[in-house]
Structure 1
């Protein structure tokens, strides 16, 4: 497991892990449409230009289209010089899509200086981490919203694992166990790890410090507590305001470092955080959910 000093050196240039986000940018490639869980706060859209949140993209890319897009962006005299990271964050779960691995291989071969980064729900992380490490993954984000399966069951509607469909506590138990096991193994391999936690008021408030303590012990570098975006099955829950969010972050910063400038980016975000390059102008369309 890498030391805190090593981690700080590794995140230099990575805007989503504490690097200078005012001058360093990232490029997300929307090559992963399928998802293997259903979060109660998630609505994925594959043809969307007017929303700015995780799970949406103007259009899906094949790995071949993705590398062409990377070439175009890196050739831009305006945007190219600021791009330090190539990330895959959806709109589904990257590990549920073989296209993720194909795309990383293409990018690593042609642009070896760029950091490879991925965001996942962690369900398939234990069985995928060695492959990711071997292809040069630099940074990993795992979204963990609960430690206790009974709480997770209120957030996750179902889990599809190795061809089987699980719901309720049973599904949440499998997901949570794999998240922590995968994170532990990733840390042992020396990857830089961020944990995203969606704060769902009245549901997982008391889980946040439990998550913070557990992931810090297992080797996570930083935590990103994000506000719920009320939609889908959790549309009836009011999002936490900035004051509440700040309180929760402060309460947990003594446990693990807190990331506070997240903008809950789209799956096709390009540029500086909060100053993305415009991507498409098509209307939104909802795809079939997992």
Structure 2
């Protein structure tokens, strides 16, 4: 673990999703350029437009941003929020399943090379793109890993779309699990700092999460165990309580550093992690920042 800390010290000094002490100091912005997804998680419901305005969770954005909008949006945003040092792509679909992600990363590499660049992914295509991400200057990758046992993963995800085929149940789960581990190993080899996101579903994977930490201990920098937000096909399942979350984190921490301050941010979040702000499109064209504090929850 100390070796990993040393290897990625340059990231932990500037990235608020890798260092809880930076939450009130360094901001980040998510660019919602990746709408399509290649897996069907049972807890995920993507949401766009006006109905998304009062929601603060992954998978939602005011609208899908085009790569051509990115430079002007960021140039204006940095004037308003000079504390932003990190630019991420977090969907609202899967980043690696959208060509717009790579078009955006090329723009960022050219126009904003001083910014830390990161993205989130389900990891299905990470073996294919790990090197390309490194070549494009990406420094951190978050991979959502909910199981390392196909029987458990099949309860979290209905199907995956891979190499032109829809693979369901345990067949798809096995391919996803294998690709996630291979991809994380490659990312580590290319000096990408990897964070493992794990959605804690008490009825399904609560007693399995330590196995995830053990499996990824040598390759991922940190694990972020986040509570289920009951919705979509898991709307009747319960959210884990604070004691359960804390207990699982304590057990998993024996094998991997735990991140304990995740905000479960939107795909278009901007600013400090506690500010609850995101992108808005006004007058049909102009991009602006929308403040969720204007709405009750």
SS of residue in 2 equivalent to 1:258? coil
Aligned to 1:39: 41
Aligned to 1:24: 26
1:63 aligns with 2:67: yes
TM-score (norm 1): 0.93
RMSD over aligned Cα atoms? 1.5
Specify which of 78, 91, 95 is matched with residue 74 of structure 1: 78
Q: 1-side partners of 2:91 and 2:11: how far apart?
A: 24
Aligned to 1:133: 134
Q: 8 Å contact 1:27–1:86 — kept in the other structure?
A: yes
Aligned to 2:271: 271
Which string of whole-angstrom CA distances, capped at 9 and with x for unpartnered residues, describes residues 72-130 of structure 1? 11122xx1x21011000000000000000000110111111100000000000000111
SS of residue in 1 equivalent to 2:177? helix
Aligned to 2:185: 184
Q: Give the superposition deviation at 1:8.
A: 2.6
Q: 2-side partners of 1:49 and 1:279: how far apart?
A: 10
* Within-5 A mapping of 1:7-18: 7-18=8-19
Q: 2-side partners of 1:209 and 1:244: how far apart?
A: 13
Structure 1 portions without partners, runs of 5+: 283-290
Q: Give the superposition deviation at 1:35.
A: 0.1
Q: 2-side partners of 1:88 and 1:169: how far apart?
A: 29
SS of residue in 1 equivalent to 2:159? strand
Alpha-carbon distance change, 281 to 134 in structure 1, aligned in 2, over 3 angstroms: closer
Structure 2 portions without partners, runs of 5+: 283-297
Q: Which has the higher strand share?
A: 2
Which string of whole-angstrom CA distances, capped at 9 and with x for unpartnered residues, describes residues 138-158 of structure 1? 001000000100110000011
Q: 2-side partners of 1:278 and 1:133: how far apart?
A: 27
Q: 1-side partners of 2:18 and 2:142: how far apart?
A: 9
SS of residue in 2 equivalent to 1:166? strand
Highest RCO, 1 vs 2 (Cα 8 Å, sep ≥ 6): 1
Q: 8 Å contact 1:27–1:268 — kept in the other structure?
A: yes
Number of residue pairs matched by the alignment: 278
Q: Give the superposition deviation at 1:281.
A: 8.4
Q: 8 Å contact 1:31–1:66 — kept in the other structure?
A: no
Q: Give the superposition deviation at 1:193.
A: 0.8
Aligned to 1:175: 176
1:52 aligns with 2:56: yes
Q: 8 Å contact 1:88–1:94 — kept in the other structure?
A: yes
Q: Give the superposition deviation at 1:276.
A: 3.0
Q: 2-side partners of 1:156 and 1:32: how far apart?
A: 20
Q: Which moved more, 1:6-15 or 1:43-52?
A: 6-15
Which string of whole-angstrom CA distances, capped at 9 and with x for unpartnered residues, describes residues 38-66 of structure 1? 10000001212111000000111000112
